Amino acid sequence: MVKLNKQSLRKQLLIKRSELSPEFVLENSKKIAENLLNLDIYQSSNNIMLYIATQDEVQTQKIIESAQRDKKRIFIPLIIRRDNALLPSLVIDFKKELIPGILGIYQPRKEFYRIYPPTVLDLIIVPGVAFTIQGHRLGRGGGYYDRFLSQLEPKTLSIALSFEMQILNKIPIDIQDIPVDYIITEERVIRRD
């Protein structure tokens, strides 16, 4: 029952999000990036896992460029379908090393896999379909991030990037769903209560 609710909500939100104009996505992603770059917890993080955004997700390009200028180490999530797992892979040259993979999500080419244990991470930037201010998260439905977040040490913080339209009053949650520590939108920084 809960699963069905999640699926229908996910579908509804994904349709709504796909209707956002490219201008809206770009402009608000820029504000969200600025809000993130201003946070102490971002500035003091040296090992950051970050997703490569699809067209209508909060974009992460500006964050990547800024992190590279600041000589932070950036890992992107490598999806291992066979094991239902996400693994952090260090990326050095974003232009050269990535190709589109599952769902059009960019992943490193095999020869550029540089896999590290999740414990090296200070910060993980999480995508999502919908969130609540309690930090609850609805993802794409694979449970990849839930499994990944459950392995992290307490020192590793999680920050979700979300447009305001993705913040809902309530989303169905299961026992395995792991909340994020912070959510950043174009208007505010939400610390889960």
Site membership for ligand ATP, residue 150 (CB under 6 A) = yes
Q: Is 177 a residue that touches Mg ion (CB under 5 A)?
A: yes
152 binds ligand ATP (CB under 6 A): no
Contacts of 7 by beta carbon, 8 Å cutoff, 6+ apart: 141
Strand-pair category, 123-126 with 157-161 = parallel
Instruction: Tell me the closest approach of the beta carbon of residue 50 to ligand ATP, in angstroms.
Output: 15
Check binding of 5 to ligand ATP (CB under 6 A).
Answer: no
The count of chain residues that interact with ligand ATP, using the rule CB under 6 A, is 15
Provide the token pair at 25. Answer: 């996505």
> For ligand ATP, which stretch binds (CB under 6 A), given 25-33, 35-43, 108-116, 133-141?
133-141
Residue nearest to ligand ATP (CB): 139
Please answer whether residues 60 and 50 qualify as being in contact, where contact means their C-beta atoms are separated by less than 8 angstroms. Answer: yes
List the one residue from 14, 106, 146, 189 that touches Mg ion (CB under 5 A).
Answer: 146
- CA-CA distances (angstroms) from residue 175 to 4, 136, 145? 16, 11, 14
Distance CA 80, CA 86 (A): 6
Q: Which of 143, 165, 168, 189 binds ligand ATP (CB under 6 A)?
A: 143
Phi-psi region of 98 (alpha: psi -120 to 50; beta: other; left: phi over 0): beta
Binding site for ligand ATP (CB under 6 A): 6, 138-147, 150, 174, 176-177
